[in-house]
Amino acid sequence: MVSKELENAINKQINAEFWSAYLYLSMSTWFDNEGLPGFANWFKVQFQEEQDHAQKFMAYLVSKGNKVNLMPIEKVDTSWDSVLKAFQDTLEHERVVTSLIHNLVSIARKENDYATENMLQWFVNEQVEEEETAQAMIDSLKLIGDNGFGLYTMDKELAQRSFTPISANASA
């Protein structure tokens, strides 16, 4: 079993992952309404990934003999001023999630819970990737600026993204 403190923190993380999923689903819908189905697809994949992250945490708690406590999901934004703003908000949000993951690692280290710390390393690495990806999208959008063809091209590229569950990833 993990400690009660760590169990509570992981349950809060599960809620944060589901909130993230809900946020990205909201962004996906906003992009669909803006006529950018590729961007909508990109955020739909983000939605699926966040759900997968929550389920990984849930499975871990259950495997350790702890209780999963699902909590209500807070309201999320439903519109953005621009495509760029949506990705800036994404980066800001991913930085918050990174700090939450780091907090979990700190608790696991404080408690000498090496198994939990080891499991969390996957999430530490995932957050590095999430922040890099969001920053790359921001950089691309800044280069595109007001170029409609550039946005159109990026939308077509993002339509190609597909979801791969964690379980299909050998490093999970």
For the chain (172 residues), the mean pLDDT of every run of 10, in chain order, is: 97 98 98 98 98 97 97 96 98 98 98 97 96 98 96 96 74 46
pLDDT of residue 170: 42
Asked whether residue 97 is domain-assigned, the answer is yes
Total structural domains in the chain?
A: 1
CATH number at residue 84: 1.20.1260.10
Asked whether residue 168 is domain-assigned, the answer is no
Q: Could you tell me the residue range of the domain that residue 140 belongs to?
A: 4-68+79-162
pLDDT of residue 165: 87
CB 39 within 8 A of CB 158: yes
Asked whether residue 130 is domain-assigned, the answer is yes
Q: What angle do CA 15, 75, 99 make, to 5 degrees?
A: 45
pLDDT of residue 167: 66
Asked whether residue 167 is domain-assigned, the answer is no
Asked whether residue 169 is domain-assigned, the answer is no
Asked whether residue 170 is domain-assigned, the answer is no
pTM: 0.92
Asked whether residue 152 is domain-assigned, the answer is yes
CB 135 within 8 A of CB 89: no
Asked whether residue 61 is domain-assigned, the answer is yes
Nearest to 116 by CA among 127, 106, 131: 106
